[in-house]
Amino acid sequence: MSGALQRRFKRLSDGPSVSHVVTGHPRRHVAEAFIRATFRQAYAADVPAFAPNLMLLEQDARPLAAVGWRSAAEEGLFLERYLDAPIEREIGRLAGQAVPRDRIVEVGNLAAERPGSSVDLILLLAAHLDLLGFEWVVFTATTELIGIFRRLSLPPLALAQADPERLGGQALAWGRYYDTRPVVVAGRIRMALEKGSERG
């Protein structure tokens, strides 16, 4: 881990705590409730499901941000419903190289009290996913989230528009979320870490 990222971790260790909460973890219900409340306030959405892995950022037991992830090797990805081909083929087409499915991870359920919390949690998650051996991250991004990545000098690869019609009746649960015209995107995890190191 770079010195800059180590300093970022230290700043968090001096203040907010970070937890990996899976099903059955004592803070799992807190993470899910925070995500659900954030999406309800932002989009009048009722989040129907959560990723098997959640990362929770808290200050004095008060949630600041949360995000989830699932491995493409272990199950089909939610965002593959928006695609015409498996995720590894879609990324490979734009990247110009073969991308093994077991090197891909889907990130979702991103919720934050303020944008700065999102950035910290995204970089912490990137470091964790890199250690787990993942190379590519894929997610469905609103224009706001794409803006965050561009400020990090990380313009993601756009794979497809997230068309709510592909979800059928399930799209209704997401309230105004699709009014933001979300896009399915992909990015290299190592590049995120390098850019995060440059930010310090």
pLDDT band at 14 (very low <50, low <70, confident <90, very high): low
CA distances to 21, 24, 132, 193 from 52, rounded to whole Å, are 9, 11, 15, 23
The ranges assigned to domains in the chain are 67-196
If you classify domain 67-196 with CATH, what class do you get? alpha beta
Mean pLDDT of 170-178: 95
* pTM for this prediction: 0.87
Task: Tell me the pLDDT tens digit for each residue of 26-56.
Answer: 999 999 999 999 999 999 999 999 999 999 9
Nearby residues of 101 by Cβ (< 8 Å), 6 or more positions away: 72, 73, 86, 87, 88
Mean per-residue pLDDT of the chain:
88
pLDDT band at 116 (very low <50, low <70, confident <90, very high): low
Token output for 83 = 């695609």
Q: What sign results for the dihedral spanned by CA atoms 172, 176, 178, 184?
A: negative
Q: What amino acid is encoded at 98 in this protein?
A: A
pLDDT surpassing 90 at residue 4: no
Q: What's residue 6's pLDDT?
A: 46
pLDDT band at 154 (very low <50, low <70, confident <90, very high): confident
